[in-house]
Structures are given as structure tokens and as C-alpha cells.
Structure 1
Amino acid sequence: MQLLLLTAGLGLLSVLGAQGPQLIRARAQELVGRWHIKLWVGNLPIPAQKRSHPLPPFTLAMNELQKLEFRMNLTKPIGCIPFKSPLHIGPKPGVFYTWWRHFISIRFLPGKLHAIAYYSEKRGSTRLRMMMLMGRSLDEDPEAVRTFEEFAESKGLNRSDIARPPPLEACELPPDS
């Protein structure tokens, strides 16, 4: 009987593994470089007209304190404003947190050309969630999109709410920032 249960359990694990690619926990050094926001979805209170607003690329770099740092130039009426935020290494591999104590899980898709960043926080009786598919280039990858859509659904978000923001190059970061 135990052998039957073990065989069935291992068979189930192999089927579950075949349903989608294995996501790999990201380490800080592996994330360094320029990234583009390809897709994002969340239940944060963001006005509908801003959900598809163009987004500039961002950079993850090691700062002078050897901490991973998120860098993005934001478009404002007065021009491009640089935004920087250190990401501290969290309690588990692939988990980072901001100085606001927002924990962000980042996992690579196979090949490490795409990653999914996921944020979830409970506020009162509401669970706030947001995630994005980030890519090292603007090239299309249907497999990465499919994986992101499935991951979003597994976290309770709707596939129909996924935004595909166009790239914005007006506030592009210099290559060495």
C-alpha cells in the first residue's frame, strides 16, 4: 500500500512539474542590469487610465554600499526625475525588501532573460497584490507571457486585468547608471 501511495505521489509531482516551467529564485548579483516592464497586474488602487501608461526601462545595480538598488527615471511635468530605492536581501533567497518593509519576491523564468517580481501585503481585510513580468529586452516571448498569466491566476489575479504598457524611452537611464 505504501509503495502504491509513493508511486502515485511521485507521479503527481511529475505531472505538476510538467504543467509549467520551474521558477528560479533570483539572487542580487544575477539581477544586475537593465530591465523592461513587459506586463503587470495587480489589485492596487490605480486609476484605469494609468494602467496602460508607458513605462521606462529600469536598472538594478549594486550601489556604493554593495546593496542592490532599483533605479528608474520617472516622467513628470518638469522633466525626468531619477528615483532610486535600495532593495535589501530578505529572509529567504529571492526575497528582497524596501525600506518601507515591502517584501518583493523575484523569480527567474528558465534562461534568466525574464523574471517575475511579486508583491503581496495584507491591509486590514484586503490582500493587496501586484506583479510584473520583466525582461532584459523588448523582444516578444510567448512562453514568458503564458507563464506570467498562469502565475498571476495562481495568485488570485485576473488574466483579463493584465496591462501591457508600451515602452517609454524619453526618460531612459544612461547605460552606466
Structure 2
Amino acid sequence: MKSLLLSFTLLGLVAVLKAQEVPSDDQKDYSGIWYPKAMIHNGSLSSHNIPSKVFPVKVTALEGGDMESDVIFWKNGQCHEVKILMKKTDEPGKFISFDDKRFIYITALPVKDHYVIYCEGRFPGELLGMGKLIGRNPEENPEAMEEFKKFVLRKGLKEENIIVRELNEHCVPESD
């Protein structure tokens, strides 16, 4: 369950990914603070595994194109922060994490400063897919939500599995 919760939380941190584009070496810098706006799962999550609170995520670009995410999750009435290493692959927008068992895909939306982070991986007994709509600022954006719904449909997921939680800024990763 901890792995499942961290995977879902990872999506929050990956949301921090696409902050700025650095024009050198075709390498992208996803550093910064990102705000989750909606989540999706492939139907395999039970209600007790769906986060009740969402928090901003901090992403830091590392040498070689890898990234580190500071993800916050809520457990036992407290904020807990975890760092997750995301290793770049040869495929643009694709990263690997969690002991090389989960793939993370970052998809830019046509709405400025909005992305979808989608994580796929095997958990004991099942294939799990989860995603988040993230943005550079915490404000709602109806156009970004419509693009997220289109992504969900293209992925073959059910729109009724979209979850929107109020952003909780009680626990915020420290910025540099």
C-alpha cells in the first residue's frame, strides 16, 4: 500500500516537471513548483487508496537529465515528504522510477504551463495506471481540464475516474 500511495503521490511531484525549457542540448528543465489540479486512475484503485488531500510538488533537474521530486503525502494526520528519483530514458518525456519498475510519461498540453504526468507499472497482481493534471499556478483552468479529459479518453480511461481534490498548501516543499 505504501508503494501504491507513493506512486500516486509521485504523480504529484512529477507535476512539477515541466517548468522551463532550456534551449541547450535539446534537454528540458522541469524544475520548479507544480500544482496538481486533477487525477485519473485506470479503475484499479480502491477508495481507501485515493488521496484525500493534494499538495504542491517540487521538481529539481539533476545532471544528465534525471530529476528528483519532493512529494508530500498525508498520512495519520501529518504531512510526510519523500524524495523520488526519476531517471531519464532515450524517449523524450519518458522517465523510469521505483527501482526501474514504473514508467512516468510527461505530456505537454496545448494550454500554457499545463502537463499530464502519467505513471504505469506493475503492482502485486495488477497493472496500475495513474495520472495528474498539473500546472505552474494553483488557479483552476477550465481549458486545461477539457484537455485533460481528452487525454483521459485517448488513453482509454473512464472520465468518471477523474478525481478533483482541493489543493492543500498547509505542507509545501521548500523552494531553493
TM-score, scaled relative to structure 1:
0.72
What is the CA distance between 1:107 and its match in structure 2?
1.4
Cα 1:83–1:64 change in 2 (3 A) is: farther
**2:69 counterpart of 1:70:** yes
Cα 1:63–1:30 change in 2 (3 A) is: closer
Q: Which stretch shows the higher mean deviation, 150-159 or 62-71?
A: 62-71
Query: Secondary structure of 2:29's partner?
Result: helix
Match of residue 159 from structure 1: 159
Map of 1:4-153 to 2, 5 A cutoff?
29-43=28-42, 45-51=44-50, 53-63=52-62, 67-77=66-76, 79-101=78-100, 102-110=102-110, 112-121=112-121, 127-153=127-153
Identity among equivalent positions (%) equals 26
- For 1:151 and 1:122, locate their aligned partners in 2 and report how far apart those are by CA, in whole Å: 22
- Indicate conservation of the 8 Å contact 2:34/2:56, yes or no: yes
Give the aligned residue type for 2:162.
I
Match of residue 22 from structure 1: none
Give 5+ residue unaligned stretches, structure 2.
1-17, 22-26
Give 5+ residue unaligned stretches, structure 1.
1-25
What is the CA distance between 1:52 and its match in structure 2?
5.8
Q: Which stretch shows the higher mean deviation, 53-62 or 41-50?
A: 41-50
- For 1:122 and 1:175, locate their aligned partners in 2 and report how far apart those are by CA, in whole Å: 32
Cα 1:66–1:78 change in 2 (3 A) is: farther
Query: Secondary structure of 1:104's partner?
Result: strand
What is the CA distance between 1:150 and its match in structure 2?
1.0
- Indicate conservation of the 8 Å contact 1:41/1:161, yes or no: yes
What is the CA distance between 1:46 and its match in structure 2?
3.0
What is the CA distance between 1:111 and its match in structure 2?
5.2
TM-score, scaled relative to structure 2:
0.73
Q: Which has the larger radius of gyration?
A: 1
Deviation by residue 1:24-76 (Cα, 9 ceiling, x = unmatched): xx676431110111111112643325536111110111258873111123233
- For 1:94 and 1:80, locate their aligned partners in 2 and report how far apart those are by CA, in whole Å: 29
Query: Secondary structure of 2:59's partner?
Result: strand
CA RMSD of aligned residues (A): 2.7
- For 2:81 and 2:138, locate their aligned partners in 1 and report how far apart those are by CA, in whole Å: 22
Give the aligned residue type for 1:54.
K
